[in-house]
Structure 1
């Protein structure tokens, strides 16, 4: 009888524990809208120059480099791979993009294996900017570099020229099941300063907010720090996993390059970040992106390529890549 009571008590205990875990953790996590927290890498294979199946803008160019020219080496942020890959495809000679081992492979950290002599590189924002400083890259496509990156250039005695070539929106996003579809600038800052911690405070469900953060010196993190005036949380609460996420990125990177049907961009101050609202400056968080080069670079084809990017042909290519031209076309 005593043994039966002990068994029954044990069963009841495990039932209680499982019910508690389900109601307090499993069910909550299952409805926390947090699928957006999964990290995604750019599929560089979709943007390889001179490949028929690549997703590149092919709008035509009246300027063409030959294999005998001093070809500028291009690199850039993940969000701008379609732009500089399309530039190479339009202006450079075939055979100028080369791979270690002879063919493209995504079997490494960044999904590329561009050879040292390739005119296309992909080292992303942090390593790519360093490559610009050391002279192995001639032209770097990027959002505005961070203060730290510009300080590093200054410490090395290097002057960087930043030429704005297009417009993009800095966006905030949530899971598609989150009922909130718009936030004000003040509400976003309140979330990322830790003053607003529950979605019900901004018209959503009674659920804690899980504010996602990006890597220091990445383009999106630099933009976020500028937007926040360098006054924002530096880490999330250990309990943030129980909340519904909010994140930030650039519009086309989010909607075109790592497109995820489970993610929805938010309107800011009631204005949605589409191309037209970027073009007419109605969307508040519109920013330029740049072609960056060292001012002491003596390759004559660097300024020639920058001038082409600002021409009607270059601006048309930027629009066809999915971004917004900075000059009328």
Structure 2
């Protein structure tokens, strides 16, 4: 009878553990699995010992309690570490795209002071671009497109991350994208599809590196940056900081900032990025490069406008490079060493309005709007 009861309880524990484990996988909470299994096993063992009246002495109770307590404590380390990490701010936080959707009441889109000389009609150029570019081309849209709804997820004016935007351009789903220069793999994919990227510079931006605001390192040389990302400099004390290892974060391949980092490194080999397993979707596990989290020993990178205007995280500080701060003035005069252009990119669209739209963007009128949004124009006016 006792054996049957134990079998029944075992099956019950196994069943409910399986359901909870499946739910945790669906929600990406794999860090709780070990703790779940430890708790399930502990419950079954306690039930068995009680049923068999095994706890007859105080010593047995102490031994079992200690073993279970230690096991639960060890199994709790992963969830505690996860929640500690998640409590830290991320610089690559997602913005509220709806806040920049054109013609929406009380949006954050920068307005032209006067009516633009260009007023487009159908067929409207289909646009897409990097997240950091959305406030800019949303301003172009409000200035030159007819007033109507342009949902950022399904309209003539969409917003994606850089890899998706380039893919949408290659597949012909959009006419123009606004982004940093393409990666080598994106260029090759275009060539395979018989396409060539036509890139029109429309503004300048600073590629910036940042650290925790309590890090006393405020400046690095370009060579030190390269050595850090090559894995040759591994401790902050090597560059005048505290005795702490450097946690140098990277971004996913083909993203605009990762491509810029790779170009900056030149012939210097880029070290393998810190990575973590991240649960996604229906329990699938993908291997994804970590987003920057504000560890006190970390260094990350992005573009100036995104970090200062869109995210505005006060827990970080932007580094000077070779003694030059990444200000708009230093981008404009060319003294900041990591300044790059961003582009309106096409692949030979047959939309008749695309050329006049891009021509307007690089005109004094369009470049004035680039300045007003917060970027540095590529043309003086």
Is TM (by shorter chain) over 0.5? yes
Paired with 1:180 and 1:291, the residues of 2 have a C-alpha distance of 36
Which one scores higher on RCO, CA 8 angstroms, separation ≥ 6? Answer: 1
The yes-or-no answer on 1:264 pairing with 2:302 is no
Q: Relative to total residues, which structure has the larger helix share, 1 or 2?
A: 2
Do the aligned residues in 2 keep the contact of 1:209 with 1:244 (CA within 8 Å)?
Answer: yes
- The alignment partner of 1:154 has SS state of helix
Paired with 1:39 and 1:285, the residues of 2 have a C-alpha distance of 19
Give aligned pairs, total: 294
2:190 corresponds in structure 1 to 153
Taking the TM superposition and a 5 Å limit, the aligned residue runs for 1:1-329 are 35=88, 37=90, 39-59=92-112, 60-67=114-121, 69-95=122-148, 97-99=149-151, 112-114=152-154, 118-229=155-266, 231-236=269-274, 244-295=297-348, 297-329=349-381
Which digits, 9 at most, give the CA deviation of each residue in 1:192-224, with x for residues without a partner?
111111111111111111001101000000000
Which digits, 9 at most, give the CA deviation of each residue in 1:237-294, with x for residues without a partner?
88x9987110010000111111111011100000000000000001000000000011
Please give the TM-score of this superposition, normalised by the length of structure 1.
0.81
Which digits, 9 at most, give the CA deviation of each residue in 1:20-40, with x for residues without a partner?
x9xxx99xx99x9x9455641
Paired with 1:237 and 1:62, the residues of 2 have a C-alpha distance of 47
Paired with 1:303 and 1:66, the residues of 2 have a C-alpha distance of 11
Which digits, 9 at most, give the CA deviation of each residue in 1:28-69, with x for residues without a partner?
x99x9x9455641121122111123111221234334354x2
Which digits, 9 at most, give the CA deviation of each residue in 1:70-110, with x for residues without a partner?
11011111110111111111100011x444xxxxxxxxxxx
Paired with 1:217 and 1:143, the residues of 2 have a C-alpha distance of 10
- The alignment partner of 1:167 has SS state of strand
Change (3 A) 1:174 1:236: same
Shift of residue 321, structure 1, vs aligned partner: 1.1
Change (3 A) 1:207 1:237: farther
Change (3 A) 1:300 1:157: same
**Greater Rg over alpha carbons, structure:** 2
Paired with 1:233 and 1:320, the residues of 2 have a C-alpha distance of 38
Paired with 1:82 and 1:62, the residues of 2 have a C-alpha distance of 17
- The alignment partner of 2:225 has SS state of helix
Shift of residue 175, structure 1, vs aligned partner: 1.0
Please give the TM-score of this superposition, normalised by the length of structure 2.
0.71
Do the aligned residues in 1 keep the contact of 2:118 with 2:360 (CA within 8 Å)?
Answer: no
Paired with 1:119 and 1:271, the residues of 2 have a C-alpha distance of 40
Backbone CA RMSD of aligned residues: 2.9
Paired with 2:379 and 2:164, the residues of 1 have a C-alpha distance of 29
